Amino acid sequence: MEAMGRTDPGRVRDENQDVFAVREDLGLAVVADGVSLPRAGGVAAEIAVQTAVECLVGVAAQEPLGGHQLRRAFELANERVFGLSCAISTYRGMSTTLVATVVDGATGYVAHVGDSRVYRYRDDELSIITKDHSMVQRRVDAGLISPAQARVAPDRHVVTRAVGAEATLRPDIAELEVASGDLLLLCSDGLTEHVEDGEIERYLAGTPDLDAAVDGLVRAANSAGGSDNVTVVLVRC
């Protein structure tokens, strides 16, 4: 596994509440996007990523990482974020999205809550692996609005699941078949808010230099408005 990531505050917000981590030795990548209200969302994102990585590092010393281990890491992150939210008034209500991938040979696992995403790029085609936990996604699933309408809906940033939002957490866990040369893209919605899938594909075409592709995607989001923090992590399997 080879990985590269970058986070940027964007052009509008003073604070960056996105956090990411990469552990190539574990085949692990993680992205979190703190919910902007209250402002302690950045604290929630940092705690969630740190807790998940620490948990998985400890587990990896004893057994291979997989879906069960990702679930436990997410649950532990939720316990810590929710506990601090209840204990400290300035952290009251803080929460964060969280998405993680683990790759071991031809097998990968994806875990997520919220609207940060994982895509897979293979054979010149980009496909989304996760489904947003959001109000607009619910309406898309119900056939009430189109995906194009969802992109501009006023409540498009309202998530229906997040680390720290409730005492218990139900992450989506999926096993993912991967092939040599596949690219996995983990990102916050600061990217997908401004950069459509077709443009993302152009940055990933061929066998891209990961550093250049990450920088290009971040620049594209900022050039298109940069209304939110943007985080991009690319993993080459």
- Kindly report, residue by residue over 58-106, the tens digit of the pLDDT: 999 999 999 999 999 999 999 999 999 999 999 999 999 999 999 998 8
pLDDT at position 182: 96
What whole-number distance in Å separates Cα of residue 163 and Cα of residue 50?
13
Cβ pair 177, 101 in contact under 8 A: no
- pLDDT of 155 above 90: no
pLDDT band (50, 70, 90) for residue 113 = very high
pLDDT at position 110: 98
pLDDT at position 189: 96
Tell me the residue type at 126. L
Q: What is the pLDDT of residues 172-187, one digit of tens each?
A: 999 999 999 999 999 9
What whole-number distance in Å separates Cα of residue 131 and Cα of residue 110?
11
pLDDT at position 188: 98
Concatenating the DSSP letter of every residue in the chain gives -EEEEEEE-TTT-SS--EEEEEEGGGTEEEEEEB-SSSTTHHHHHHHHHHHHHHHHHHHHTTS---HHHHHHHHHHHHHHHHHHHHH-GGGTT--B-EEEEEEETTEEEEEEESS-EEEEEETTEEEE-----BHHHHHHHTTSS-HHHHHH-TTTT-BS--BTSSSS---EEEEEE--TT-EEEEE-HHHHTT--HHHHHHHHSSS--HHHHHHHHHHHHHHTT--S-EEEEEEE-
CATH number attached to the domain at 2-236: 3.60.40.10
pLDDT at position 162: 97
Q: What is the pLDDT of residues 184-222, one digit of tens each?
A: 999 999 999 999 999 999 999 988 899 999 999 999 999
Region label for 114, one of left (φ > 0), alpha (ψ between -120 and 50) or beta (otherwise): left
CA 221 to mean position of chain CA atoms: 16
pLDDT at position 191: 98
Radius of gyration over every alpha carbon of the chain, rounded to an integer in angstroms: 17
Cβ pair 5, 217 in contact under 8 A: no
pLDDT at position 131: 96
Cβ pair 34, 91 in contact under 8 A: no
pLDDT at position 224: 96
Mean pLDDT of 26-53: 93
Q: By C-alpha distance, which of 188, 183, 186 is closest to 226?
A: 188
**Domain map (residue ranges) of the chain:** 2-236
pLDDT at position 46: 98
Which neighbouring-strand residues pair with 8? 230
What whole-number distance in Å separates Cα of residue 221 and Cα of residue 10?
8
**CA atoms within 13 A of residue 189's CA, in its CB half-sphere:** 24
pLDDT at position 137: 86
Of 51-65, 139-153, 220-234, least confident by mean pLDDT is: 139-153
Q: Is the peptide bond before 38 cis (omega within 30 degrees of 0)?
A: yes
Question: pLDDT over 70 for what percent of the chain?
Answer: 99
